[in-house]
Amino acid sequence: MVKIAVLVSGGGTNLQALIDREQTEGLGGGKISLVLSSRAGVYALERAKKAGIETVVVNKKECGSAQAFDKQILHELQSRGIQLVVLAGFLSILGKEVIEAYPNRIINVHPSLIPSFCGNGFYGLKVHEAALEYGVKVTGATVHFVNEVTDGGSIILQKAVYIEPDDTPETLQRRVMEQAEWELLPKAATMLCEQIEKEKENQE
């Protein structure tokens, strides 16, 4: 079994997609063992509790510095033997210490077709506002590995979503979630869990 931690900051719709996939088809030998939130009181924590998943809150302000925040996150992950980290609407940038501890084991979903509309400052509705402002006809979502460049890691999966003439940032955000994010993130997590399991078998 591959232990997965899902990192969240808000409502947790992508977390729900992962939970649903685990409960129906499974995650390729993966199990969501921890939901870590950067904010208390968010609905993602309720979703985790309903599914019987352990939760923990690590708040950057309370940690006092970015380094202390990273240290605390790393402690929560390593003390539970987490092997795969999935960022699902996690709004804090992970530092070098966490990234180096989990090389090619941290994945993120981004609501555009990287390299478009990504990098610092592009998150949530801002991504969809930029896509509509630019006038692109196709957008989508990308699941990628996390490295020290914001949205800069290798791409794992992408899916295109067409933009409708009357789209608003809100309608576009919803459609990208439903048609791309909720499909890609569980699929990528499953692929990686299968890969981790294979590597374990080869080592035995």
pLDDT the model gives residue 203: 83
How open is the CA angle 101-103-108, to the nearest 5 degrees?
A: 105
pLDDT of residue 71: 96
Residue 147 to residues 77, 106, 154, 170, 184: CA-CA distances in angstroms? Answer: 17, 8, 9, 29, 19
| Confidence (pLDDT) at 127 | 96
Q: What is the pLDDT of residue 11?
A: 95
pLDDT at position 204 is 75
Spatial contact of 141 and 176, defined as CB atoms under 8 Å apart: yes
Two tokens, residue 151: 């949205």
> Active-site positions?
110
Residue 158, pLDDT score: 98
Could you tell me which residues are beta bridge partners of residue 155? 144
In order of their start, the domains of the chain are 2-203 (3.40.50.170)
Question: How far is it, in rounded angstroms, from Cα 23 to Cα 67?
Answer: 36
Q: What is the pLDDT along the chain (204 residues), one digit of tens a residue?
A: 999 999 999 999 999 999 999 999 999 999 999 999 999 999 999 999 999 999 999 998 899 899 999 999 999 999 999 999 999 999 888 999 999 999 999 999 999 999 999 998 898 899 999 999 999 999 999 999 999 888 899 999 999 999 999 999 999 999 999 999 999 999 999 999 999 999 888 887
Per-residue DSSP letter, 185: H
Q: Would you state the pLDDT for residue 128? A: 97
Q: Are 184 and 159 in contact (CB under 8 A)?
A: yes
